[in-house]
Amino acid sequence: MNNLYMALVHFPVVNRKNEPIGSALTTIDLHDIARASMTFGVKGFYVITPYRDQADLADQVIRHWTHGEGGRLNPSRKQALELVRVVPTFEAAVQQIQKERNQPVVTIATSAKKYKNSISTRILKQKLGSNASHVLVFGTAWGLAQELMDNCDLQLDPITGTGEYNHLSVRSAASIYLDRLTNG
């Protein structure tokens, strides 16, 4: 999957009342999504937050594991955290990918809700073979704001379980999608 990127959006997302908000960074999301990204061959993992204090926290965690004692003690964690890039906006992430790869970028939104024209991971897996970079977009809090969902090129079918309950952690959803895109 040498043309797949991940993005974890902290703004714009929604709260439980479906109101637009910005959410706080959760450091375990950085670790777990970076490790899943490394495991499944993702090119880069973007953490999107416009909040300087949250970006500083992410940078501090990344530095500890890539240039500090954490990286010396755990080289595999260092390797995974080297994939993480912190940017203030989703547009900045897309621009960086375009510049790095010199090719179009296809954006794919994820949600726990079903969208009318959403596609399956099987169809997305076929599309990943094209001459474009792809970024799989995840939202924190209660998910991506509608404006960002609407601005993405594609929406991916939600992950469903056996019943009505459908509120996975974002790091679990990221791992499941990556497994389905690789092995499904």
Instruction: DSSP for 64-128, please give it.
Output: HHHTSHHHHH-HHHHHHHTTEEEES-HHHHHHHHHHHH-S-EEEEE--SS--TT-B-HHHHHHHT
156 burial (CB, 10 Å; 0-12 / 13-18 / 19+) is: buried
Look up the pTM and report it.
Answer: 0.96
In this structure, what token pair is assigned to residue 71?
Answer: 């990286």
**For 82-93, how does the pLDDT look when each residue is reduced to its tens digit (9 = 90+)?**
999 999 999 999
**For 22-42, how does the pLDDT look when each residue is reduced to its tens digit (9 = 90+)?**
999 999 999 999 999 999 999
The full set of domains in the chain, from first to last, is 4-183 (3.40.1280.10)
For residues 109 and 138, the answer to whether their CB atoms sit within 8 Å is: no
